[in-house]
Structure 1
Amino acid sequence: MDLQQNTSPAVWRFQNSTSPTSLMRLFPLLARPQRLPLLFSKISLRHIHKMSRKPPQLPPSFTTTPSAILSQTSSLISSTAALEDALSSTLTPSTATFSNLLTPMLNDDHAVSKQTLIIRLFSSVSEDKDLRDASRTAEEMLLKANSEALMRRDIAALVKAVYEKHQNGGEKLEEEDAYTLFKTHRAYQNTGAGIEDDDVREQYKAAVQERNEVLVAARKTISESDEGIFFTREQLNGVPTSILDAMKTNDDGHLKATFKKGHMISIMKHATSARTRKAYNIAKESRFPENVIRLERAVELRNSTARMLGFKTHAELKMQDKMAKSVESVMEMLNKLRTELKPLADEEMMTLFDSKKAYIRDNGTDEDGEDMKRLNAWDWAFYARILEKERYSVDSLLISEYFEVNHSLEGMLKIFEEIFGMVFIPTDAPVWQKDVTVYEAWNAEDQGGEFLGYLYLDLYAREGKYAGAHSSLIQPGFVTSENTRHYPSSSLITSLLHTPSQPTLLLHSELKTMFHELGHAIHKLVTHTNHQHGCARDFVEIPSILLENWIWVPSVLQRLGKHYSYLSSEYLTFWNAKNEGERPGEVLPEKLAQDIARTKHVNGAHAMLYQVFLALFDLTIHNAGEGGAVDTTRLWNESKTEIMGLGRVDSIGQASFAHPFRAYDAAYFTYALSKVYATDVWVSHFKADPMDKTTGLRYRELVLQPGGSQPELKSLSNFLGREPNDRAYYGEVTSTPGTKSGYHDKIYRISYSLNAPVSS
């Protein structure tokens, strides 16, 4: 959502001032002593030159109160309603045009979104519970107002008239305006404006309102949770000491293992006690029983409102704004993945079960009964780690010592700079929490040097913060009513476990998550459109999943990897206190980088089948016909056992499956589809030379910059020179080294052709 327009010329921000305050502003790292070791790695001559330029737009403010949020929200809702009333009273279907109807509506949408995106952000990041609660109340108000606005027959009739005039050749529009008109018309038709019967309209409004309330309550339950399970230190044997030392304790001295990702990964990968892993897994999958009721009610309401709109199911309704053509085509794609990957997944499972048997033979186990005779859900991560260490010489804890979070992030941004022609400058700006850091994003000089927007990094876990890693748009990019550019602000938000006196080290899987979420944030910054657009849900993950490939490239890993003891004298002291013997080398060893790369597709079939399981669960519950009440607990457990093939332990895991409560209802399949299409892009254009700037800039121009301003399949096809297909994916995932059966030498050894016919 960026348009290179109205960019101020270079202006010396500080001219001849050398006061401490000016230096702090010019070099904001000086105001953060804990990050001084990174100062000179951050600032190059190019950065210093760039920092002499003043952004044409100030960063947003996050200073507010709960009452101000509610007052502001009410005012915004009222102003939009007043605009629509004015349009309805002054225009008729014969006089309405894009410029006198859509343009003022879009300008209002832009102005409102600048404020509401920040209002909604507080619910997931604020330390202040009252602010979080006000944010959620505001969200309910906005959802209700948006639903009512989209049900206005008067505005819908005007939009329909403009759309039909354009379709009949009566009003010529630029391509983006035409597509915006198409999406606006579709939105009114698919959200209630077309319901003629007044009684049905009232039923629809009531159902949508109840659905929104149910979803907000479910999201709050997940976001606010600080649940955990207590263990003795002995029961957590094998878990890294740094994790144990940071855990809270109860009066009995037991350690609290929360269900946040840092604790979950550490326990499931490293706890040597199978009983501990089992207890933790069962407790994690037993949370939020109230959300089971909420999910089933939300599904019932979604499917019933879809039928009121003339669709068979909610899933059919949701496909209207996707790249996928139909529910049936998505089901076909998911079932193909399930069928084709099953033999390889079975082989992966046999390999891990062999690893389990060998481990038990050599070390014993506290398992008993059937658990010892099979591979269970709580076994997978533990024995996968052992397999990687023994077969591929990959020690996840040793590797993490080379990926201190701040240094790794700087390396990631540098890679984005090289590939996409960007520059990131650390800056001092208002933030919602003191640990948040901010960057200015600019085009590189050879790309014009224009300002792009602001990037916010909120990395560490805290009470009340949503635990999942994600990227939020803070302000959109668009062209204003004065024909000037408003620049976007985006964010990377994670919940890493952090102890101020220690380095925060990333596991390789966390490094992958960082690349993924930064991919979302960068996409928001480089999108280049006149209006703000949401992308199709089954497109939006493709750019981020594509970027995950870079953390499997040995040369990239070596660029990112620097042993933390070389980053500061404090970190060296910390390492010396924890270790004896020779200090590791400064740079990630080449062999270790190559060993990591060899594990890229290890257990890849199992990982994809897990995505298929979640996608089929989501699609099935939202594709129930009339009278088809869904027992989500039964479906969850039966599907998981059937698809994953692990020992069955019934749970209510669907209650903590956050995506159907957010914007991924009937759309979780996007992760599987995006993996397939992203692999196509990677293999056909980036794999041979991941750092090729020409390819990166072409990808930025053809795929990232259009955003949702045109059909997303068109963007992908423009870049690929054809429609995307699944050939590269099956060729990649079956290329795992060291498989025993030679499975990948069979039907799926595909000679990949850029011009091959489309197969999915």
Structure 2
Amino acid sequence: MGGEEDDDRHYRREEASRRSVNNGGSKGRKVIAVTGTAAILAVALNFAFVAFNSRRRRRKSKELAGSEVRVNLSASEIRKLADQIVRESKEVHDAFSSVPADKVRYRDIMALADLEARQFPLIQSCVFPRLVSTSEDVRKASAEAEQQINTHVTSCRKREDVYRILKAFTTRGEWINAEAKSYAHSLVRDFERNGLNLSSTKKDEIQRLQSLIDDLSMQYIHNLNDDNTFLLFTETELEGLPNELLKILDRANNDKVKITLKSNHVLPVLELCKVGATRRKVAVAYGQRCKDVNVPLLENLVLLRHKFARLLGYDNYAEYVVCSRMAKTSSKVFEFLEDLSMSLSELATKELETLKNLKMKEEESSPFGIEDLLYYVKKYEEENFSVDFGALKEYFPLSLVLQGIFKIVQDLFGLRFEEIVSVDVWHDDVRVFSVFDLSSGELMGYVYLDLYSREEKYSQTCVLPLQNGSLSSNGARQVPVVLLMTQLLKEDIDSPVVLRFSEVVSLFHEFGHVAHHLCNHSSLARFSGLRVDPDLLEIPGHMFENWCYESSILKLISGYYQDITRPIKDDICTSIRRCRHSFSALKLMQEILYCLFDQIIYSADNVDLLEVFKFLHPKVMLGLPFLEGTNPASCFPHSAVGYEASCYSRIWSKVFAADLYASKFHDGILNHHIGMQFRNKVLAPGGAKDPLECLTNFLGREPSVQAFVDNIALSSV
């Protein structure tokens, strides 16, 4: 139900911020986007060629110019490289700390910047194999290396001798440029957020609190992961679930069906089961998972985080989290959520009335509850939208979708993709592309695509920076390198891979991040790639999703897998657009509810977590009663670990992405001039520049919620 996000995209960027497709082709084959009739012909020929060559292509070792990323390291090589990284880092930090405080200059600071740029691709070379390698020994060595490097990085951020020199430099304020100033201040901030500006007693307390917080956070997650609770139902009580699902579910107690409280069981019941009492029973059980153990854990976590933040000089934990983000203050977050909630209220009320009327026809005696939301949304869509998403996948062959994405990225942002065949990779499925600036021919960077599912590979769709673009102190340019991973299924080696439409949307989203990584032109690795403000980070991905709902783009990327000259029809394009925002206002109100809960508990003292939610629920959810027996404090992991006090950021980025698209691209979706403005004003500046300033510079005003609300209203039920 609400509060748990439908994917784990954030892995790639949270990990990257802290630490630092398909078979086919032949020798020398290039992927170059073209236009018009030529595009259709080129795509068709490429599609056939890929299928023909998919089983006989093999990679030869060849280095990528400007890339320090190392793939196919053995377990022993990973261990040696990790030792080298730690050793070199310690040497540079020791040398820096030996500089007299009154003599430190920017060139000394640049030694730390050069270290970051030099070591980032080496660190990623050590740690990314645990996500992709087919070797258990390599994955184990990679995980050990990651832990070793993280421990070292943490220790570096606690070095008082290094902090003292940095503080002396920033106090003098001798800046070469704005980026240099941002870099030095960001280093100091890292140290001070670890308490190095505090007394010895307070520093010890900070470390004690952080250790407790880490332990309790992990325990909260482990409790949810280890929960094996299940419910038993007769097949009659599960009416509406497809027979193929019922056949594979476990049985117990006179052939009753076992429904676990994992999302792969709960969601089908809430979406498909016709029996309201069953939906309610499952929803209540799902909402009270780990209630006895996790509620006191979250209460303790909130208390400890407030203590942690106040030791560092903040009023509460929310201010500690938000102050370094685009939103800047917790009050701004509340203002944003309340503004959006009020703007959506009338539309959400109409949507809710539609669902209530549906339930009245099917279950007259039972009032509409939050547990009915998914079922009646799906029922309405089935009755009113003529889209069979199961059959639709036959019109989205992967090769065709990729070609379309390459063309869009080229037309908009001036990035030309060219495949490299003879290059070392970790699996035959992996493809590698050089990316060039369309106008100048300059090498912009490299993209690895590892798109197919396989055993032991990381199970989520994500983008992982492997090397950040930067400019060293001697003027040498280091190009960005990025990895995009998905879990697409190759069902038959002789048939083309086809995508569900949700996978098409996901691929577009991830390419928004790929473009961001490649176009970020910061001089310093710390502000390059995807190392930007978290509130800005998701905006390019969400914005890029918009293109795959446009009819002309849907025609470009679709074609029946046995005859790609047959794209999807106009009425299907229209239905896809209508489905996109089906009941979006009501769904978003539920997200806002959880974001408000998250922001409140980390903004105030001594709050009763359950009472806060009970108070918020009917107000935000338009009078829908709170589901008695549930307690989000027990099973809302985002508020426990990873996104505490920042759950709002997902909505923030979606709303502002909608504003960017509607205001600038809607009347010219492949307008190269506007695309290049977006590239130069939003993607290129990197993390050193204020993100609100970047967006305002592009829009000509500050971003607002109105375009998002208007967009939803246009396709409202």
Normalising to structure 1: TM-score of the pair? 0.75
User: Is 1:96–2:90 an aligned residue pair?
Assistant: no
**Contact 2:67-2:478 at 8 Å conserved across structures:** no
- 1:79 corresponds, among 80, 88, 93, to 88
**Contact 2:447-2:484 at 8 Å conserved across structures:** no
- Kindly tell me the number of residue pairs found equivalent between the two proteins: 664
SS in 2 for 1:594: helix
- 2:327 corresponds, among 324, 327, 331, to 324
Distance in 2 between residues matched to 1:671 and 1:722, nearest whole Å = 22
State the partner residue of 2:70: 61
**Residues 222, 405 of structure 1: alpha-carbon distance in 2 compared, 3 angstrom cutoff:** farther
CA deviation profile, 1:203-258 (whole Å, cap 9, x unmatched): 2123223434555666678889999989999887766788889x687899999989
Write out aligned runs for 1:674-713 (5 A). Answer: 674-713=653-692
Distance in 1 between residues matched to 2:532 and 2:562, nearest whole Å = 42
Distance in 1 between residues matched to 2:566 and 2:237, nearest whole Å = 35
Alpha carbon RMSD of aligned pairs, Å? 4.2
SS in 2 for 1:321: coil
User: Is 1:313–2:316 an aligned residue pair?
Assistant: yes
Distance in 2 between residues matched to 1:227 and 1:523, nearest whole Å = 42
**Residues 472, 278 of structure 1: alpha-carbon distance in 2 compared, 3 angstrom cutoff:** farther
Runs (5+) with no aligned partner, structure 2: 1-23, 32-43, 53-61
- 2:347 corresponds, among 344, 347, 350, to 344
CA deviation profile, 1:58-110 (whole Å, cap 9, x unmatched): 57334456676566545533432332222112x1221111111x111111222
**Residues 309, 59 of structure 1: alpha-carbon distance in 2 compared, 3 angstrom cutoff:** closer
SS in 2 for 1:587: coil
The one-letter code matched in structure 2 to 1:330 is V
Write out aligned runs for 1:665-676 (5 A). Answer: 665-676=644-655
CA deviation profile, 1:696-723 (whole Å, cap 9, x unmatched): 1111111111121211112112211222
**1:525 CA displacement:** 2.0
The one-letter code matched in structure 2 to 1:83 is V
**1:664 CA displacement:** 3.0
199-208 or 298-307, larger mean C-alpha shift: 298-307
CA deviation profile, 1:648-676 (whole Å, cap 9, x unmatched): 15446566645456653322211222222
State the partner residue of 2:357: 354
SS in 1 for 2:418: strand
Distance in 2 between residues matched to 1:423 and 1:228, nearest whole Å = 51
- 1:182 corresponds, among 177, 180, 185, to 185
**Residues 494, 250 of structure 1: alpha-carbon distance in 2 compared, 3 angstrom cutoff:** farther
645-654 or 471-480, larger mean C-alpha shift: 645-654
The one-letter code matched in structure 1 to 2:94 is D
User: Is 1:618–2:593 an aligned residue pair?
Assistant: no
- 2:589 corresponds, among 602, 606, 609, to 609
State the partner residue of 1:751: none
State the partner residue of 1:542: 539
State the partner residue of 2:479: 487
| Identity of matched residues, % | 24
**Residues 338, 107 of structure 1: alpha-carbon distance in 2 compared, 3 angstrom cutoff:** same
User: Is 1:148–2:155 an aligned residue pair?
Assistant: yes
**1:601 CA displacement:** 3.0
SS in 1 for 2:669: coil
State the partner residue of 1:205: 207
State the partner residue of 1:725: 704
**Contact 1:127-1:465 at 8 Å conserved across structures:** no
The one-letter code matched in structure 1 to 2:119 is V
**Residues 716, 131 of structure 1: alpha-carbon distance in 2 compared, 3 angstrom cutoff:** same
Distance in 1 between residues matched to 2:503 and 2:288, nearest whole Å = 25
State the partner residue of 1:531: 524
CA deviation profile, 1:601-635 (whole Å, cap 9, x unmatched): 3312123223312322322233244xx3x665665
**Contact 1:396-1:507 at 8 Å conserved across structures:** yes
**1:537 CA displacement:** 1.2
**Residues 142, 202 of structure 1: alpha-carbon distance in 2 compared, 3 angstrom cutoff:** farther
SS in 2 for 1:515: helix
The one-letter code matched in structure 1 to 2:47 is L
CA deviation profile, 1:146-186 (whole Å, cap 9, x unmatched): 343233332222222222322xxxx3413322222232233
Distance in 1 between residues matched to 2:537 and 2:68, nearest whole Å = 25
State the partner residue of 2:443: 450
**1:316 CA displacement:** 0.9
State the partner residue of 1:595: 575
Q: Higher RCO, 1 or 2 (CA under 8 Å, sep at least 6)? A: 2
State the partner residue of 1:581: none
**Residues 288, 111 of structure 1: alpha-carbon distance in 2 compared, 3 angstrom cutoff:** farther
Distance in 2 between residues matched to 1:157 and 1:194, nearest whole Å = 9
Distance in 2 between residues matched to 1:587 and 1:231, nearest whole Å = 44
**Residues 137, 208 of structure 1: alpha-carbon distance in 2 compared, 3 angstrom cutoff:** farther
CA deviation profile, 1:489-548 (whole Å, cap 9, x unmatched): 223334456644787654444433332232123211221121122211111121112112
State the partner residue of 2:561: 564
**Residues 719, 279 of structure 1: alpha-carbon distance in 2 compared, 3 angstrom cutoff:** same
CA deviation profile, 1:536-572 (whole Å, cap 9, x unmatched): 11111211121122222121122222233436xxxxx
- 1:408 corresponds, among 401, 412, 428, to 401
**Residues 218, 148 of structure 1: alpha-carbon distance in 2 compared, 3 angstrom cutoff:** farther
**Contact 2:260-2:266 at 8 Å conserved across structures:** yes
State the partner residue of 2:370: 376
Runs (5+) with no aligned partner, structure 1: 1-21, 30-34, 44-52, 362-368, 568-584, 739-760
Distance in 2 between residues matched to 1:589 and 1:619, nearest whole Å = 45
**Contact 1:553-1:597 at 8 Å conserved across structures:** yes
State the partner residue of 1:11: none
**Residues 700, 314 of structure 1: alpha-carbon distance in 2 compared, 3 angstrom cutoff:** same
The one-letter code matched in structure 1 to 2:184 is L
The one-letter code matched in structure 2 to 1:586 is R
The one-letter code matched in structure 2 to 1:106 is A
